[in-house]
Amino acid sequence: MSTETGSAGVKRRDFLKVLGATGAASTLVGCTSEDVGRLIPYVVNPDNTVPQVSNYFATVCREGLEPVGVLAEVRDGRVIKLEGNPQHPANRGALSARGQSAVQGLYNPDRYRAPMVRQGTGFVATTWDKALARLSQELGRARSQGTAANAAFINQHELGSFPAFLDQWLTGLGMPAHLAYDAEAPLATMAAHRAAYGTAWPRLDFNAARLVVSFGADFLDGWGASTAHQVDWADARAKLETAPRMIYVGPRRSLTGLNADEWIAARAGSEIAILNMLNGTATAAQTAQAAGVPQQTLERLAQEVTAAGSGLLVLAGSTDATAQEVAAAAAALNRRAGAVGTTIRPEQGIGAYDRLNSYADLRGLVERMNAGQVPIAMVRGANPVHTTPTALGFKAAFAKVPFKVSFSSYPDETTELCDLILPDHHPLEAWGDAEAGPGLLALQQATMEPVFDTRQTADVLIALARADQTTAARYPVRTYREWLMGRSGGEAAWTAALPRGITNGSALAASAPTRAAVQLRPAQAIPAPSGDQMTVVVYPSPVLGDGRGANKPWLQELPDPVSKVCWQSWVEIHPSTAKRMGIERGDHVTIETPAGKFTAPAYLYLGIRPDTVAVALGQGHTAYGRYAKGIGANAFVLLPSGEDAAGGLVLTAGNGRVTKPGEHSPLVSTEGSARQHGRGIGQAVLVGELGTLSAPEVRARQESGGGGSHASGDENVGGVAPQGNAGPAAAGGATEEHGGAAEIPGEPSIAFLPGLRSPVANDAQGEYGDPTSKDKGLYDPNHPTGMAKRRWAMTIDLARCTGCSACVTACYSENNLPTVGAPWQGRALAPGVWDERPGANILKGREMNWIRLERYFEGAEDAENTFDPNFDTRFVPMLCQHCGNAPCEPVCPVYATYHSPDGLNVQVYNRCVGTRYCSNNCPYKVRYFNWFGYGEPERRQYAWPEPMHWQLNPDVTVRGKGVMEKCTFCVQRIREAENRAKLENRELQGDEFTVACAQACPSRAITFGDAADPSWSVAQLALDRRSYHVFAELNTYTAVVYLRKVIHPAQSAPATA
């Protein structure tokens, strides 16, 4: 046949041309760096900065009820991470997930970038001069008309001098004091504390406690100073034998409840009955009837409370109509037991929560707004349209105010109704102060230049006052910063105090909030549910709070510590109730109360009474930016506008009708299974059996010598540690020396690394590469670089871990992890058709979290048919175990994952071709794949819309599409520390640095370091008697050592686990 033209196919010449061109193109594309961009220098060098070297500025984080001290890591003028300030007496270096997410508020892409003024139904940008002139004019008009005394200013609750400063400003202009609102604040508890102890928040000394009884007080997840509580609680629990036992009383087991050793599942609203019984004013029989719990449980509770003596710590945080009575009764019980002065330290308390208005005050304002009396309303920080019960009608009332100003930086529901927006600085851009403890003041300093054209509200107030002849004289300074300096002893003293962030002093004292002349409308007590009625418990989300966290993708993506659901709302319902009603996981459930209707998928939860359903606040925004809007449902619709005796908002208000509308949507959950199925991932030991545990070396010797059981995963069924010698095959197993055990296939004759075992690390180079070679390269401990002398390792103490998940967010922050659950990040279902469900990627199992918090339940196996409150929870932080004998390594066809000489399981992104074999072979499921180009700005799935990418850590590669990634043990921190030591011409010192998860952990459960060097704490902790390796039976020789949880059962009762 001819090779000439005429055939319909490709001509040879053309084919060769194409081939040649392709080759040339790929040569050019290959590794070229033709377009490498520009090098932009400073115009004027800032002082004390070195490019690419971080500075740390001490400041104050205002994300929660309690302000904590933080250090902002600033690189080349931008904040890239927040860490706790070790000098701050409350958080002592730790930082919660919510606190760390403050940077995503700072760099939020939906922030207002300039002042805005209403035009028709929308807003247009304006200048600060025009905006301030407009506000001045409106304020002037109100004053000339004599209506200024009816103006309203709603501020977020905050500590520090600003509330008093604001009141002075308002008074100066003839306006009433401001209204500080926080839907999450436990007002009833504070009122009772003030009455009983003389301070709103005494220090709770868990260390002195023998028994902690919590009546719905979620002191680990949002109730009061929860970061400080967590640090203290973990330290107390780490005492093991002498640690306090915790009993949680309430209708639903919260995160704090899951940390309790025992749960008394009392009916909502019956807490007061139980406290009355403990105070001796009711009998156990009557109380058991009211609370719906067995009488002997209550009798035993009473015995334990008596036995605890002055080591008793009773906490009350219930949110029903009786909240204040409960808190007062708890305080009386503490006092009777002599606990005030031992477990409760009023003299070390923070009394500064006094400037907090009640929900009743806000209701008074709504009534006045509805009556058309309020000429001007100003809002800052608070978002009452979203965070008040819909039944209150705040939105309609607010709309009746003729002129509304918002100082919010975000397009929230309240701000969207306003006429003028004067966006405030983010706290990281602003100056301020906050009480840090008795006689101590934390200083808040601006850590970077403002991201957008915003102004600190305090500065705006000063500017307005100076422009007004009547008030100008009171404000001799131009900025709030100068005003603060004047209070703190001048510029020199202020500048000297800033680096520490803590100084002696006190904030400007606030007068007690003016109580609006409203009659309290106490809510009704909750009747026992009957028929299709169930008690409805509404609680603030531990992650999103009352909704203020919802615009931060880290928090949306962080699974709820209890339900493990993210990017979604859910209804908690007990499996037995669900079975009775024919509800399965993910089936929609509608709750109907007299106030409103709420529908969300069901989450079947062991830790809730069968006659109760629970929903979290936080979701269901109709505005508030791209990450919050349209996600989940708003639980505030269920609440009646009711108050407790302290005027606080009642969250557990009564019963509702629960129905099943017939729809289903899968839960966006990172939970594979809630059960361990005997795998022994999260192991525990009863406190009484601690003495039977032996150190790992002893265990190994017994194992090999005695020829006993070598199984390690199955002996832990039921969660109780083994009785004797059958500990897991742990670090330093001495099988060869003792010769008793069978040869493990694949185990080489030499172990290169000291410290924890890493026998097969040398398969990278040396024995397995070339059995005859004597050159072990970098794996030779005598190599001149000494790289093989270190063995990076980690211990995780499950007796300390509370499951709060701060470590997860810390990892996102440090390691440039993309969030993948936003509605626009899903995959294409067909060309041009996208899966736009929130969390679509997570539903496909494509989440990205290098460290995740596994939460397993033990016990209550037959929950489908019976209710059993006696179950134990195991929180297990799960991350790459950096196995010495890693299953992922030999299956990689391109050698992108291997074991480094210093003990890391390394993932080389630029070698990875994305076969995902490693992930398939990983028994811990800790490898995550980039299914989309999350790091590419032109892609739909881009995870850091401008200016969110300013937060990215410059030390860590942003991974590309098609690349596998996983925990690196913060290798960038290891290298940075090595570089620093080298610069200073010294060796690394023990515990001189740590990884991001360990740094943030408020319970100090994670310890990182060099296991080969005894000067690091981890080297000792790895040899603890409670140590075990997850899946040790797989001979993975992990570098992560877990220490068993310790369970404290009741003295007279069988184990709860």
Question: Which residues make up the interface to other proteins (CB under 8 A)?
Answer: 1, 3, 7, 12, 15-16, 19, 22-23, 26-28, 30-34, 36-45, 50-53, 778, 784-785, 787, 898, 900-902, 904, 906, 908-911, 955-958, 968, 971-972, 975, 979, 982-983
Give the span between the Cα atoms of 662 and 684, in whole angstroms. Answer: 41
DSSP letter at 239 equals T
Q: DSSP letters along 797-859, please? A: ETTT-----HHHHHHHHHHTPPP--SGGGS-EEETTEE--STTHHHHTT----SSEEEEEEEE
Nearest-CA neighbor of 547 among 608, 631, 614, 651? 631
Residue in this structure with the two tokens 């009608």, named with its chain if needed: 393
Closest by alpha carbon to 927, among 907, 902, 903, 957? 907
| Rounded alpha-carbon distances, angstroms, from residue 725 to 693, 708, 715, 1028, 1047 | 8, 8, 11, 13, 20
- In the block, which residue shows the tokens 């009480």? 435
Q: Which residues of 554-578 are buried (b: 16+ CB within 10 A; e: fewer)?
A: bbbbbbbbbbbbbbbbbbbbbbbbb
DSSP 51-110: TT--EEEEEEE-SSSS-EEEEEEEETTEEEEEEE-TT-TTTTT---HHHHTHHHHHT-TT
- Taking each helix axis from N to C terminus, what angle separates 162-172 and 457-466, rounded to the nearest 10 degrees? 30
What six digits make up the tokens of 448? Answer: 């970077």
Amino acid type, 170: L
Nearest partner of 359 among 379, 378, 387, judged by Cα: 387
Question: CA-CA distance, 345 to 327, in Å (whole number)?
Answer: 16
User: What's the closest the beta carbon of residue 9 comes to other proteins, in angstroms?
Assistant: 8
Residues 555 and 810: their CA atoms lie apart, in Å, by: 11
Using the 8-state DSSP alphabet, how is residue 718 labeled? T
600 pairs with which residues across the strands?
Answer: 589
Tell me how far apart the alpha carbons of residues 932 and 825 are, in angstroms, rounded to a whole number: 8
Helix (H) or strand (E) holding 215: strand 211-215
- The rounded distance, in Å, linking the Cα atoms of 773 and 514 is 83
Packing angle, helices 480-487 and 490-497, rounded to 10: 90
Asked whether the beta carbons of 542 and 561 are under 8 A apart, the reply is: yes
- Mark out the alpha helices in 437-542 (DSSP H runs): 457-466, 480-487, 490-497
Residue 609's SS3 state is coil
Q: Are 641 and 653 in contact (CB under 8 A)?
A: no
- Which residue is associated with the tokens 């030499």? 750
Residue 318 or 968 with smaller CB distance to other proteins: 968
Measure the CA–CA gap between 640 and 594, rounded to whole angstroms.
7
Closest CA to 755 of 705, 710, 696, 701: 696
15 versus 130: smaller Cβ distance to other proteins: 15
The two structure tokens encoding residue 723: 């009785």
Cβ burial of 852 (10 Å; 0-12, 13-18, 19+) is buried
Q: How far is CA 83 from CA 440, 483, 634, 853, in A?
A: 20, 28, 31, 20
d(CA 104, CA 427): 12
Task: Give the closest residue to 994 by CA, choosing from 968, 974, 1021.
Answer: 974
Q: Are strands 432-437 and 245-249 parallel, antiparallel or unpaired?
A: unpaired
